[in-house]
Amino acid sequence: MNRIERFLVNSHLRSRCVARYAERMVAMIRPGRGTRLLDVGCGNGAATLWLARRFPVSITAIDLDPAQVRLACTAAGSSPAIRFLIADARRLPFSPGAFDIVWTNKTTHHIPQWQEAFREMVRVLRPGGHLIYCDFAGPKWLSSFLRRLGGDDFGWPVRGQLHALAGESGLEVVHLKPRMLNYEAIWRRGGDR
């Protein structure tokens, strides 16, 4: 992230909006005591901290940006229910089925190989667990155009590919709300995959 993007993403107003949105999405699942949640692309940790205060969950939160993880750790203090790590969403350092909920918001469009990150999120989700996915998405032509414009460091999820990946991964739709350039979904991982 450049300095301007970091300033906008870390603003108090933006952080509060992201945190409340996270609460609304996770509340649809109604997590119980002891639920293990993974926050992929936690940024400054605002949503992670908010979720830890609102739900009886233990949260592991990752981001690739060390500066963002430092901000998150500072904000969290010594909370025993939260752990922040520097990690790549395309190679999550967790065992298969390690989490009950995987939450990601506005992260995969930063990842050129966003499909790898999606598969990793499914891999670390236990059967019966929920993947909450929110990001920009659009038709294939728009994705191709934006990649040409933004270069190889830019990923832009494609709605059709998201549907296909979810199906291939054995995910069942719990909530789906695709809008013009935004994709909001909650899937439940079925079976013993």
> What pLDDT was estimated at residue 154?
66
Residues composing the chain: 193
- Separation in Å, CA 148 to CA 141, 152, 159, 160, 179: 11, 8, 18, 19, 23
> Per-residue pLDDT tens for 162-183?
999 999 999 999 999 988 889 9
DSSP conformation letters of 31-92: --TTEEEEEET-TTSHHHHHHHHHSSEEEEEEES-HHHHHHHHHHHTT-TTEEEEE--TTS-
For residue 5, what pLDDT is reported? 66
Say what the pLDDT of residue 39 is.
Answer: 98
Strands 171-178 and 82-86: unpaired
pLDDT confidence of residue 146: 74
Q: For 62-66, 77-81, 100-104, 169-173, which range has the lowest pLDDT when averaged over its residues?
A: 77-81
User: Mean pLDDT throughout 82-108?
Assistant: 97
Q: Report the pLDDT value the prediction gives residue 179, as an integer from 0 to 100.
A: 85
Percent of the chain residues past pLDDT 70, beyond the cut: 91
User: Average of pLDDT values for 113-136?
Assistant: 97
Backbone angles phi, psi at 61, to 5 degrees: -125, 135
Strand order in the sheet with 82-86: 82-86, 57-63, 35-40, 99-105, 125-136, 182-189, 171-178
**How far is Cα 40 from Cα 175, in angstroms, rounded to an integer?**
19
Residue 143: band (very low, low, confident or very high) from pLDDT cuts 50, 70, 90: confident
24 to 30, 54, 108, 153: CA distances (angstroms): 10, 11, 20, 31
Class of domain 3-189: alpha beta
Look at residues 84, 64, 65, 66 and name the one whose alpha carbon lies nearest to residue 75.
84
193: pLDDT strictly greater than 60: no
- For residues 81 and 116, give the distance between their C-alpha atoms in angstroms, rounded to a whole number: 28
